[in-house]
A = this chain, B = another copy of it.
Amino acid sequence: MPKWAYIQCVPRAATTSDVFNAIAEPRRRQIIDVLGHSGEMPVGELVLAVGLTQPAVSKHLSVLREVGVVAVERRGRERVYRLNGEGLKTVHDWVSVFERYWSNQLNRIKQRSESLARTSKGAPRNEKGTP
């Protein structure tokens, strides 16, 4: 592929409103962890749990809510958050595809031979349309 042809590039990649982005933040993962094993929790307690200011926590919760990883319920003057674990299924499904890479030695060997087969005979890394 000599000439690069500098392909027209899309303006920008969408980053927000994406589960992968939501869990990229250590603090948000922490919140998810806490909610995951405590069932539910109002903002106030989450603030104490993660050690951030209340506004900061609220913002993280907002992000998590937008991507559907948590759900809120107004209870009195509190806002009780609970984990909606199903929102993480997307991530799980995506990584699970690569499970063969670490599952066990047998599978690792199998995967390697598959790879070799692809590279030498059948379809040697031919994503684009070079015949």
Residues of chain A at the chain B interface (Cβ within 8 Å) = 1, 4, 6-7, 9-10, 13-15, 18, 20-21, 23-27, 29, 32, 34, 36, 38-41, 44-45, 47-49, 51-54, 56, 83-86, 88-89, 91-92, 94-102, 115-116, 118-119, 123, 125-128
Contact = CB atoms under 8 A, between A and B. Distances in A.
15 contacts: A1-B44, A1-B45, A4-B47, A7-B51, A9-B51, A9-B53, A13-B25, A18-B24, A20-B26, A23-B24, A24-B24, A32-B98, A85-B98, A88-B102, A92-B92
Which residue, A29, A92, A118, A123, has most C-beta atoms of chain B within 10 A? A92
Nearest to A115: B39
A45 B125 contact: yes
A68 to B, nearest CB: 12
Given A24-B24, A52-B9, A39 B88 contact: no
A7 B53 contact: yes
A76 B113 CA distance: 23
B128 A102 contact: no
Contact of A91 (B36, B51, B95, B125): B95
A10 to B, nearest CB: 8
Given A7-B53, A18-B24, 16 more contacts: A10-B51, A15-B26, A39-B119, A39-B125, A40-B115, A40-B119, A83-B98, A83-B101, A88-B95, A88-B101, A88-B102, A92-B92, A92-B95, A92-B96, A92-B99, A95-B95
